[in-house]
Structure 1
Amino acid sequence: MRVVSVVSTKGGVGKTTVAANLGGLLADAGLRVLLLDLDSQPTLSSYYALHQKAVAGAYELIALNLTTPVQIVSRTVIAGLDLIISNDGQGRLSTLLLHAPDGRLRLRNLLDNFRSRYDLLLIDTQGARSVLLEMALLASDLAVSPITPEMLAARELGRGTLKLLSELEPFRHLGITPPPLRLLLNQVNVIRVDTRMIIRGLHEAFAGATHILVLNTVIPDRVAYLNAASLGLPVHRIETRRSRERHSPSPLETMQALAIELFPEWREAISKVSRCAEVR
């Protein structure tokens, strides 16, 4: 089972949109996908309608070490896409983990209970520095950080997400390697000159980095992503054609390119996803 966290210490960069649409596409590709919502504002938990809702969720998983699937795993209406809902609206988990001996390693220690059931665990996190975010990163094989092409977002990347990863380096002494980071340019309007400058600057800044890579895939600022969220569907199902006016790839092409770039081992299955997928 691959474990990927979608992270940023800055809110509003599109973490939930990326997690929901990436999960939906990979489920339509035939993979067994589990979404874990660790954001106290449970947007991912309400993105897809539920076919079957579990009685518990992320709080019981982390606080009580409850891993019984029938109790904590909800089934979405997207075949192959399951969800552990966020149910910690008061933020109790952060306090609990700060005082627990295994706090930052709690999720990592629970993952063996899910490995035989899923191909991918996709974790949506808070848009702020927290022990929950640190816990998610230390449990992950890979971290994906959406970044909007704005100067403030680029500056926050260095002050926030990159600083956080550097501070997790001491865990290497325990045999735990912080995950490599993939930067995903999101909500991009390539027509703007300042946008192109920021994109070029990011590529130049990390050209020689070992564990940080700016992804080639860019997610444009198309209304289709908002429409998909309103409909509770993966965006690749509602718009499959390129925009004539803006000459940008369709959401289907974009999400396929992103999924293949992140998971080249699943290229064949991802390439076969088409607009014909339906809610089952």
Structure 2
Amino acid sequence: MPARYILHMFTPSAQMSPFDINMAVDAGYDVVVPYCDVSAAEIRGLTQDAIFSRGPKGVKATGIFIGGRNVMLASDMLETARAAMVPPFEVSVMADPSGSYTTAAALVACVERQLQRAHDTSFAGKRVLVLGGTGTVGRIAGVLAAGLGAEVSLGHHAKLASAEAAAAETGQRFGCVLAGADASTPEARRAALAGADIVLAASVAGVQVVSEAERAAAAQLLVAADVNAVPPEGIAGVGVMDDGKQLPEGRGVGIGALAIGNVKYQVEHRLLRSMREGDKAVYLGFREAFAMAREVIAEKDGQ
């Protein structure tokens, strides 16, 4: 009888995300087990409990998912789980805290697509402003954009010092250069937007971070992208279904939350399936998610 597919889901939070549980079941896992309030110190022991009980063949039907709300902690937990493997007892591991890795991957890949389609250019040398940049999605989107050659600033709604601290912490952890930006007042946002080629809205749901007047004043915008699907839109004038729709002024185009979310869903689904279907263990973080997002978009465009 074939071994049943088991996914052990570890989170440092009080609850595992129902979204990720649904995704795991839809990706074909037979048994999905959440473990809550898991500390970093427990990952090694839990990983080895998972790998040694099913034999070298049974581990191919076992996987580990790491959730939570801290992008640095999730990355550390992924590396701890990898180091805990004892080949041939080795299982696949995926990290996606608060969906941030797959969402940020989809966001940046969608923007990359529109830069090419609408403007025949890339992220290289562009100035990127991430509003909600100290959150989970914003930090990882900033890291990915910086990796593509952009000059990235993370904006904070209240304090410049908080933005600068998040930029320094995130850049040091993931090996890139990020700056902080003041987004605490309409005047500060206007100043930050005035120098931006790309604005990414990654704030909490239901909060508008760019007003119509602020967007209209951003004269050199090429792309405005928003991951907020809960009204009001995070960037005024960018609808949830927009996928390269021309902004009311200038040359810029907008990308809405559902256009990004469709790619995010496919990325998470495919990564979860790749863990279950592959012959070798894989370790999946935000860089692997970005590679998958590019693949999804290339298929969408028939490339």
* TM-score class normalised by the smaller sequence: 0.3 to 0.5
What TM-score, normalized by structure 1, do the two folds share?
Answer: 0.37
Higher relative contact order (CA 8 A, sep 6+): 1
